[in-house]
Amino acid sequence: MIRWSQQLIPTLREAPAEAEIPSHQLMLRAGLIRKLAGGLYTFLPLGHRALRKVEQIVREEMDRAGALEVLMPAMHPQELWEQTGRFGVLKEVMFKIKDRQERNLVLGPTHEEVVTDLVAHEVQSYRQLPINLYQIQTKFRDEIRPRFGLMRAKEFIMKDAYSFDMNLEGVERSYRAMYTAYERIFKRAGLRTKAVEADTGAMGGSASHEFMVLADAGEDGVIECDACAYAANLERAEGVGRGEKVFADADKTPAVVATPNRKTITGVATFFQTTPARLIKTLIYLADEKPVAVLVPGDREVNEIKLKRALKCAALALADDVMISKVTGAPVGFAGPVGLTIPVIADEKLQGYRGAITGANQADAHLVNVDLARDAQVGTWGDLSNANAGDGCPRCGQGQLVAKRGIEVGHVFKLGTKYSEALGAGYLDPDGQRKIAIMGCYGIGVTRTLQSVIEQSHDANGIVWPISIAPYQVEVLPINVAHGPTMEAALKIAAELEAAGFDVLFDDRDERPGVKFKDADLLGLPIRVNVGEKGLAKGVLEIKLRHTGEMRTAAPEQAFAAVQAAAAELRQAVTPA
Ligand SMILES: [Zn+2]
């Protein structure tokens, strides 16, 4: 049992203005964390206790799934990152330092390089595979805009695991084991998550899932079907367009219409008194430095991940104004596919577009009555645009897609052989042939998971902790600490609970009851035992459940059993099926 007066619980009546979302405000107000500088936080005792409990759940489930815990350095030689070519890709977000011998080091944002180097040295034979190594460790990212407390910080704790297998069946088994472990971890932490298909880069297939917490504060777009289980990150989601494709005057020939200063989709749609969907948005990109015209319906955004894959290019960027004028002959805002001499790639949702409107490739003019197949030279068709809410489901064909926001708390990913090839992580098979190991990687943002629980589980009065990760499970609150019998009864129940293994916080402060009750709700410990003079006179203690606000009473000698029963109910909610 810890006495409140001896614990460090600096609660705040008001959240500092910088805290924009409820979970960040509550972590500060309940005295769980304090900011040192932008994106850098200290865990105070209560925050640290909850963090340790989340870590313990992660550790138990990783061990249960057969992964082996290690601890790798946070500081890495830069040359290791150069060997896989990732230094060039990630150098903007990596903290780079030098030691006294002027050797270049980086602070790791992730550990594929380090773990693969380890396995390259320690694994020689197929008999040592499969193997899955994990750690719970601090990572570093030089975020441009750290925000939302622990959600996007410069320093954060992750669990990262890396599996090494001999064949694709093995990879699938490792992946499934981690997927199941993740479902159990989040359930045990009291977090409702949704596994969504995520972008896989060159791997293809459903080789990557993100575990998302649906929340308005989420920085990721999530698309889900209202009829089946299909759910995907917006970056990856496919949608079946259900809009019109043949518009008025579809059979007429293209005609130039003056549209002075109408450069935006909305501006042009308003001018023609039509919907943005009738417009063909034309963007000029440089793919490996060569210009290409990219067409999508006017009501959709280009998805650069999909575009990059369709173009099979290494570098992709929007062309600058000079290049746009050069290839279209018009200032920015008036590009269209008709008459272009550079390659044209079009979103498949534009197949069959007739009677459409595009830029005319001359200043202040648009082209109407465009039949895309008839009037333009489309070299390639592909899925190039984001799915929109209201699109048809690509999986079941019945449902409609809905857009949500999500916080990514976990990611499972089939990596393939990119790192094992670059760093020589291989093994000798039973025939003595040298083979390359196939990898998977699996991350959980531990500090982010902790904050996500609060984002998902709070009310107007404060945090509502799941019993599994609450800093303390029970708060014993003597209403008047100057009243002898009150203190005696309160200390007795606290001691009984502690002896039975409960973590107990004892509010021994000589404060007004209102202050103590408010603080108790703010802290949000799952079970509270109020001990007061009035209750004792009636022969009862009060047992309050934070998540429902339900107040139960029990005679002092039955209070222990009543708390145990309440705790058992609360544990049910965080027990995996
Ligand atoms: Zn569906």
Residue 242 clears pLDDT 60, i.e. is over it? yes
Share above pLDDT 90 across residues of the chain, in percent, rounded to a whole number: 93
For residue 394, the CA-to-ligand 1 centroid distance in Å is 7
**Fold identical between 255-382 and 462-572?**
no
Say what the pLDDT of residue 203 is. 47
- H or E, element range at 179: helix 168-188
- Give the pLDDT mean for 104-119: 97
Rounded distance from Cα 395 to ligand 1 centre (Å): 5
Average pLDDT over residues 313-328: 93
Query: Cα(208) to centroid of ligand 1, in Å?
Result: 19
Q: What is the mean pLDDT of residues 444-454?
A: 98
CA 190 to ligand 1 center in whole angstroms: 27
Can you read off the two tokens belonging to residue 420? 């094992």
Mean pLDDT of the chain: 95
pLDDT(353) > 60: yes
User: How close is the Cα of 389 to the center of ligand 1, in Å?
Assistant: 13
How many angstroms does the Cα of residue 233 sit away from the middle of ligand 1?
15
Distance from Cα 384 to the centre of ligand 1, integer Å? 20
Domain boundaries, the chain: 18-192+417-454, 255-382, 462-572
CA of 222 to the centre of ligand 1 (A): 14
CA of 319 to the centre of ligand 1 (A): 37
Q: Residue 236 has what pLDDT?
A: 87
pLDDT of amino acid 522: 98
Q: What is the mean pLDDT of residues 478-491?
A: 97
3-state secondary structure 299-316: CCCECHHHHHHHHCCCCE
Residue 318 in this model has a pLDDT that exceeds 90: yes
pLDDT band for position 207 (cuts 50, 70, 90): confident
Residue 62 has pLDDT above 50, yes or no: yes
Task: Enter the tokens of residue 538.
Answer: 């009636």
**Where residue 243 falls among pLDDT bands split at 50, 70, 90?**
confident
d(CA 252, ligand 1 centre) in Å: 38
Q: Tell whether the model's pLDDT for residue 86 goes beyond 60.
A: yes
Instruction: Write out the residues surrounding ion ligand 1, Cβ under 5 A.
Output: 225, 227-228, 230, 393, 395-396, 399
- The pLDDT tens digits of the residues spanning 508-550 come to 999 999 999 999 999 999 999 999 999 999 999 999 999 999 9
Give the pLDDT confidence score for residue 89 in this predicted structure.
Answer: 87
pLDDT, mean of residues 3-8: 98
CA 254 to ligand 1 centroid distance, Å = 38
Residue 48 confidence (pLDDT) above 90: yes
Lowest mean pLDDT among 140-154, 193-207, 210-224, 441-455: 193-207
pLDDT at 320: 94
pLDDT tens digit string along 166-203?
Answer: 999 999 999 999 999 999 999 999 999 999 999 765 44
- Band (pLDDT 50/70/90 cuts) for residue 205 is very low
pLDDT in tens, 213-238: 999 989 999 999 999 999 999 988 88
- What pLDDT does 206 receive? 52
240 CA to centre of ligand 1 in angstroms: 11
**Residue 435 CB-density burial (10 A; 0-12 exposed, 13-18 middle, 19+ buried):** middle
CATH architecture of the domain with residue range 462-572: 3-Layer(aba) Sandwich (3.40)
**What is the dotted CATH code of the domain comprising 18-192+417-454?**
3.30.930.10
pLDDT of the residue at 250: 86
- CA 231 to centroid of ligand 1, rounded, Å: 8
Q: Ligand 1 centre and the CA of 196: distance in Å?
A: 13
Nearest C-alpha neighbor of 353 from the set 296, 301, 414: 296
CA of 499 to the centre of ligand 1 (A): 52
Beta carbons of 185 and 170 less than 8 angstroms apart: no
What's phi and psi for 307, nearest 5 deg?
-65, -45
**Burial per residue of 371-400, b for 16 or more beta-carbon CB atoms within 10 angstroms, e otherwise:** bbeebbebeeeebbbbbbeebbbbbeeebe
Q: Looking at residue 249, what is its pLDDT? A: 87
CA of 224 relative to ligand 1 center, distance in Å: 8
Out of 3.30.450.20, 3.40.640.10, 3.40.630.30, 3.90.960.10, select the CATH number for domain 255-382: 3.90.960.10
Cα of 392 from ligand 1 centre, angstroms? 8
How far apart, in whole angstroms, are the C-alpha atoms of residue 235 and residue 411?
A: 15
Ligand 1: centre distance to CA 229 (Å)? 6
CA of 488 to the centre of ligand 1 (A): 61
